[in-house]
Amino acid sequence: MPANTSGFAGRRVLVTGGLGFIGSNLVHALAAAGASVLVLDSLDPRSGGQVGNVDALPQVQVVPADVCQFESVLTHMPGVEYLFHCAAHSSHPYSMRDPQRDIEVNCVGTINVLEGLRRFCPAAHMVYVGTSTQVGPMRTNPIDELHPLAPMDIYSANKAAAEHYCRIYAGAYKLGVNVVRLPNVFGPRANIHNPDFGFINYFVGRALQNEALTMYGNGAQLRSVLYVADAVSALLAAALAPATGQVWFAANAQSISVRALAERIVAVFGSGRVEQVEWPAARERIDVGDVVIDSTKLRSELGWQPHYALDAGLAATAAFFRQP
Ligand SMILES: NC(=O)c1ccc[n+]([C@@H]2O[C@H](COP(=O)([O-])OP(=O)(O)OC[C@H]3O[C@@H](n4cnc5c(N)ncnc54)[C@H](O)[C@@H]3O)[C@@H](O)[C@H]2O)c1
């Protein structure tokens, strides 16, 4: 949590997708900072959204709304001072199975939010949540914000397109829109039972059930990771930043192989076991290979840094899911 969350006290904040994994953790942090939070979420069954993720929080209003419906978005824009756009179709495999719906949510939904910002609250600061997979296979090691974009799957391509929309609106209309691209995020309030979402959270679910954590191939592929509280602190810092039209990566300094990560989960949770399985063909076709993200820009420009080393984040995750 950054020291300056006081900037949100008493502010009107809109979080789209606020019932989802990252959005709900953001909502908890904003509520703790004294913000007045409005959540727009359609509780899409093909997402990680869960109604209990923001249960019983004062100063938080949850409104069922689909960002693909322009009027539903516009209605809630007047008076908004900060806007976090977390509503998304967030699954790579789903996007390959239903590419049209992925475009609707990730592209049209983002345009609707940007148009609402432009027309009804142009002084607001907006943060868009991008993904590290927008860059596709790593051509330079490490990957920074100047790395070319060559996404391997429809979700990542649509996330890249939506990021371009944000940059265009920031430039053409002088709106306060920034982007934080996240790597594999894990932690409390994630959907931990569906392998179509982030693999770390799925591994967490398997460890909690004392089941096998099945890694594809030999697990040597490197991944950049981040505990969700550190993702939230990056998003909050981006919203309070004076600069606009910026793109920042946020990730832990060290990448880790899928095998080593699975082994750390088993060790920290004290349950589960690591097993190797054949790559499913549909997954192998869209895999990006090694991912090594460099967050120097975010660290130097906004003073952001992650506070949770991997084991500390895993221990906090275990404590959350094991609480009675
Ligand atoms: N989880 C990660 O590791 C990760 C990594 C990089 C980027 N991201 C990005 O972070 C953002 C949040 O991801 P997440 O992991 O919290 O996903 P999630 O699936 O847990 O949450 C997405 C939320 O959006 C809602 N939603 C979906 N379609 C909607 C619509 N049409 N209208 C309104 N609400 C809708 C869902 O109901 C859900 O609550 C996404 O933009 C995602 O691309 C996530």
- In-domain check, residue 307: no
Question: CA 4, CA 14: separation in Å to the nearest integer?
Answer: 19
Percent of the chain past pLDDT 70, that is, above it, reads 99
Tell me: the pLDDT tens digits for 99-141? Answer: 999 999 999 999 999 999 999 999 999 999 999 999 999 999 9
Q: Please tell me the number of Cα atoms within 13 Å of 128 on its side-chain side.
A: 34
What spacing in Å lies between the alpha carbon of 267 and ligand 1's midpoint?
29
- Residue 105: per-residue pLDDT: 98
Question: CA 131, CA 129: separation in Å to the nearest integer?
Answer: 7
Q: Confidence band (pLDDT; 50, 70, 90) for 51?
A: very high
What spacing in Å lies between the alpha carbon of 322 and ligand 1's midpoint?
24
What spacing in Å lies between the alpha carbon of 21 and ligand 1's midpoint?
7
- In-domain check, residue 130: yes
Q: Is the pLDDT of residue 3 over 60?
A: no
Q: Whose CA is nearest to atom 22 of ligand 1?
A: 20
- In-domain check, residue 141: yes
Asked if residues 226 and 182 have their Cβ atoms less than 8 Å apart, the reply is yes
- Average pLDDT for residues 63-72, to the nearest whole number? 96
Q: Is the CB of 47 under 6 A from ligand 1?
A: yes
Q: Which of 14, 15, 22, 196 has most ligand 1 atoms within 8 Å of its beta carbon, as the pocket-test mutant? A: 22
From the CA of 182, give the closest atom in ligand 1.
6
CA distances (Å), origin 285, targets 24, 93, 137, 279, 289: 31, 11, 12, 9, 10
- Residue 276: per-residue pLDDT: 96
- In-domain check, residue 268: no
The alpha carbons of the chain give a radius of gyration, in whole angstroms, of 18
- Average pLDDT for residues 182-202, to the nearest whole number? 96
Q: Is the CB of 192 under 6 A from ligand 1?
A: no
- Residue 4: per-residue pLDDT: 73
**Exposure string (b/e) for 235-272, b if CB count within 10 Å is 16 or more?**
bbbbbbbeebbbbbbbbbeebbbbbbbbbbbbebbeeb
Q: Is the CB of 215 under 6 A from ligand 1?
A: no
From the CA of 109, give the closest atom in ligand 1.
31
What spacing in Å lies between the alpha carbon of 160 and ligand 1's midpoint?
15
What spacing in Å lies between the alpha carbon of 191 and ligand 1's midpoint?
11
- In-domain check, residue 270: no
Q: Is the pLDDT of residue 2 over 50?
A: no
- In-domain check, residue 305: no
- Residue 324: per-residue pLDDT: 86
Q: Whose CA is nearest to atom 1 of ligand 1?
A: 185
- Average pLDDT for residues 198-223, to the nearest whole number? 97
Asked if residues 145 and 248 have their Cβ atoms less than 8 Å apart, the reply is yes
- Average pLDDT for residues 146-167, to the nearest whole number? 98
DSSP 101-134: HHHIIIIIHHHHHHHHHHHH-TTSEEEEEEEGGG
- Give the three-state DSSP class for 288: coil
Range of the domain at 166: 9-190+226-251
The pair phi, psi for residue 323, each rounded to 5°, is: -65, 145
Average pLDDT, the chain: 96
Predicted model pTM: 0.97
Number of domains in the chain: 1
Tell me: the pLDDT tens digits for 251-294? Answer: 999 999 999 999 999 999 999 999 999 999 999 999 999 999 99
- Residue 243: per-residue pLDDT: 83
What spacing in Å lies between the alpha carbon of 85 and ligand 1's midpoint?
9
Q: Which residue has the tokens 């899928």?
A: 258
- In-domain check, residue 146: yes
CATH code of the domain containing 81: 3.40.50.720
Q: Is the CB of 53 under 6 A from ligand 1?
A: no
- Residue 29: per-residue pLDDT: 97
- In-domain check, residue 316: no
Q: Confidence band (pLDDT; 50, 70, 90) for 1?
A: very low
